[in-house]
Amino acid sequence: MNLRLLLLAGLALAAAPPAFGDGTATSTITITGSAAQACHLGSASNSTLNVGTLANLADGTLAPVADRSTTIDGSWCNTASTLSIIAQPLVAQHYSGSPPAGFTKAVNYTAAASGWTSPSASFTTTGDRSGGGNGTTPGTADSADPVAQQISVTVSTFATPSAGDRLVADAEYSGQITVTLAVKP
C-alpha cells in the first residue's frame, strides 16, 4: 500500500508544470450582469385637483376656470419610454337622466403631462351634453433615452360641449385623469 502511495505522489510531482521566469502567473476573470428594462411612475403631489365653482351664477353658463396642476415626483425609466395621458370630462355625479335643451352635465378640458419630453403628452376630453362620447386614444410623448424627471400634470381650457350651455345644478362634478409611464415596445 505504501508503495502505491509513493508511486502516485511521484506521478503527481512529475505532472506539475515546471516553474519558468519570475514565478508570476495571471488569470483573467470576466464579470457579467444585466439591468432589465424598467419604468417607475411616482405619486402625484396632489391626487385631487379642485377647480372650484363651475357655474357663473349670473347666467348659469360655465364660469372662468383657472388652470390647476400637480406634480409627479420620483418617476424614471432606464430605457426608451412612452408617457401617456387620458382623461374623462367633469360630469355631474348626482343628476340623473339627460339634461334638457340648452343645459349640460359635462365640462370638457385639456389635460397635459409635461416635463418628460418635449412636446408634452396631452388629451382633450370630448364628452357630450350627457357626459358620454369621450375619446379613448391617449395622448402620448416618447423618449428614446433613459429619463428621470418630475412630471407636471395641468388641466386647462375648460369648455362646455356647446357654447352657451348652462350647467345643471349638482354638488359634485367629477372627472378622472390617468397618466401611464411604460417601456417603449
Peptide bond into 119 cis (omega under 30): yes
Grid cell listed for 143: 423618449
- 8-state DSSP, 119: S
pLDDT of residue 4: 47
* 8 Å CB contact between 81 and 71: no
pLDDT of residue 20: 57
Torsion of CA 39, 144, 79, 86, to 10 degrees: 10
pLDDT of residue 19: 53
d(CA 98, CA 130): 6
Strand 147-148 vs strand 76-77: parallel, antiparallel, or unpaired? antiparallel
Q: Is 131 exposed, middle or buried (0-12, 13-18, 19+ CB in 10 A)?
A: buried
pLDDT of residue 124: 98
Instruction: Tell me the pLDDT of the chain (185 aa) as tens digits.
Output: 444 444 344 444 455 555 556 889 999 999 999 999 999 999 999 999 999 999 999 999 999 999 999 999 999 999 999 999 999 999 999 999 999 999 999 999 999 999 999 999 999 999 999 999 999 999 999 999 999 999 999 999 999 999 999 999 999 999 999 999 999 98
Strand 166-167 vs strand 103-104: parallel, antiparallel, or unpaired? parallel
- The CA–CA distances, whole Å, from 25 to 12, 22, 109 equal 20, 9, 72
pLDDT of residue 5: 43
